Amino acid sequence: MRTSTVIRTALMAFLSLCFLVTIKAQDKEKLEQFFNSIEGVEIEELEPEEGFEASYRLMIKQPVDHFNPDAGYFSQQVYLRHKDFSSPMVFVTEGYKAYGKHITELAHYLDANQITVEHRYFGKSVPDPLLWKYLNIEQAANDHHRIVQLFKWLYEGPWVNTGISKGGQTTTYHRYFFPEDVDASVGYVCPLNFSIEDQRIYDFMNEVGSDECRQKIYDFQKKCLMEKEKLMPEFKKLQQEKELTFSMELDAVFELTVMEYSFAFWQWGRFDCEDIPLEEKDPEKIMKHLDRVAGVDWVSEKNIGYFQPFYYQALTQIGFYGYDLDAFEGLITALKDKTFLFTCPDGEDCIYDPLPMEAVDHFVRHEADKMLFIYGEYDPWSAPSVQPSGDNDIVKIVKPAGSHGTRIRNLPDGLKEKALSTLEKWMGVEVTREDP
């Protein structure tokens, strides 16, 4: 009796395994048939990450101008992680280059498939010739809409779009133009700026954290500016070590880096106020601290070249921040442009249009539905955060003392449960409480 039971159990297990193998093979066959139906697609099969059945990198043909096919086409890089056709889909709207190995926490919480879309004009998704006028939020939203339409008939579960920082902005713009594409949205630490020098940042920087810590930050910045002559040899040394070139005078780069120090200190939250070397005399140690917090390479020609599509968007539509120089009167002598116009591509007129962000703001306040926004209290990007009106189903969660690295998984328990239960209600699926 016992022997027959064991044999029967083993046979059932074997048959179940055969069934699963058959289902997986059928899924891959269905996917590959689907890929082959897309005009001009390039396909690369990848080793699937743990928890996924298949993984692909795709280059999908997109119109440069979705309203004029004669403007030409480009290939947009897309990553697909397949779990099951009936499972939820996490649709990642990157704001920059797409990194193929990144699996979102939402894919874990929702036990979901994942599609990651590289933003147009970044990484491998760059038109040739590169015409800047087609880099705007409406064209990018149409990129995402087209990819959703391609895949949605195949993946029948609920969809959520999501992104971090500029990716979260992109999520919001996608939802603004195509509110029915997904069932819900999650935007992490994503600002909604109203100018290229959003004044709300200034008020925030005067109130964030403790009075004592803000004073120490200011005193360090003032120390650097007052001791610029002594510190410049070390600044030049770092420039040479990193093989950096700049499009402006080195004195201006130094001052810009010092101004960035306070923003970066609060944004990333990687240092304590006790780490600020106010009493340090050694120029090398002072400059190393400035570099660790603000990064002497952040406005180098190499970095501006990499992020130039972002700067173009910031200067023309999505806004940015500047620095309040009044407190450093007489100490800023070389920096002439605090609104980052020096990052505008050569030959382009970067003129800011406030209307798109005003329209998005109205949408979020009064028309949007099932959108979750997550911010860190100490992150300067929380100053120009979305402001729900209470008229619609928008949830905003702010992590106390949180940074730009705020995610659902590192929220306090009560706020984490609020985020997960909100997703559970909106998506209509069970959400795991176990963190990735």
Three-class SS string for 336-380? CCCCCHHHCCCCCCCCCCCHHHHHHHHHHHHCCCCEEEEEECCCH
pLDDT for residue 217 is more than 70: yes
Burial of 62 (0-12, 13-18, 19+ CB in 10 A): buried
User: Tokens 């500047």 — which residue?
Assistant: 322
Task: Kindly state whether residue 11 falls inside one of the protein's structural domains.
Answer: no
Per-residue pLDDT, 2: 53
Cα distance between residue 162 and residue 90, in whole Å: 7
Tens-place pLDDT, residues 100-110: 789 999 999 99
Contact (CB, 8 A) for 397 and 415: yes
pTM of the entire predicted model = 0.93
Does residue 8 belong to any structural domain of this protein? no
Residues 273 and 376 in one domain: no
Nearest to 399 by CA among 389, 388, 385, 390: 385
d(CA 71, CA 4): 70
49 and 115 belong to one structural domain: yes
Query: Is residue 37 domain-shared with residue 175, that is, in the same domain?
Result: yes
Strand order in the sheet with 89-93: 42-46, 54-63, 73-82, 113-117, 89-93, 159-164, 184-188, 371-376, 394-399
CB 147 within 8 A of CB 78: yes
Express each pLDDT in 169-178 by its tens digit. 999 999 999 9
Residue 237 and residue 325 in one domain:
yes
pLDDT for 15 beyond 70: no
- C-alpha–C-alpha distance, residues 144 and 123, integer Å: 16
Last residue of a domain, one of 295, 311, 343: 343
Q: What are phi and psi of 371, to 5 degrees?
A: -125, 125
Residue 436 lies in a domain: no
Looking at the fold, whether 294 and 278 belong to one and the same domain comes out as yes
pLDDT value at 8 more than 60: no
Same-domain pairing of 141 and 261: no
**For residues 35 and 41, is the Cβ–Cβ distance under 8 A?**
yes
Residues 41 and 103 in one domain: yes
Whether residue 225 sits in one domain with residue 304: yes
- 405 located within any domain: yes
Domain boundary among the residues 318, 343, 368 is at 343
Q: Are residues 187 and 204 in the same domain?
A: no
- Over 70: is that where the pLDDT of 403 sits? yes
pLDDT of the residue at 24: 72
Residue 212 shares a structural domain with residue 253: yes
What pLDDT score was predicted for residue 7?
61
Q: Domain residues for 74? A: 27-194+356-427
Are 158 and 67 contained in the same domain?
yes
Rounded CA-CA distance 268/278 in Å is: 20
pLDDT of the residue at 410: 98
144: in domain = yes
Q: Would you say residue 350 lies in a domain? A: no
Taking residues 154-165, report their average pLDDT.
Answer: 97
Q: What is the mean pLDDT of the chain?
A: 94
pLDDT, tens digit (0-9, with 9 covering 90-100), for 324-343: 999 999 999 999 888 899 99
Q: CA–CA separation, 292 vs 217, rounded Å?
A: 14
Quick check: is 168 in a domain?
Answer: yes
Which of 343, 367, 388 represents a domain boundary (last residue)? Answer: 343
User: Which residues lie closer than 8 Å to 99 by C-beta, 6 or more apart?
Assistant: none
Number of structural domains (the chain) is 2
Q: Are 186 and 171 in contact (CB under 8 A)?
A: yes
Pairing mode, strands 159-164 and 184-188: parallel
Token reading at 215: 């004073």
Half-sphere exposure of 120 (CA within 13 A, CB side): 31
pLDDT higher for 24 or 39? 39
CATH number of the CATH domain containing 154: 3.40.50.1820
pLDDT at residue number 99 = 86
Average pLDDT over residues 223-251: 96
Q: Are residues 45 and 189 in the same domain?
A: yes
The pLDDT of residue 4: 61
Instruction: State both tokens at 342.
Output: 């020096």
367 assigned to some structural domain = yes
Q: Region 216-242: what's the mean pLDDT? A: 97
Q: Which region holds residue 126: left if phi is over 0, alpha if psi is between -120 and 50, else beta? A: beta
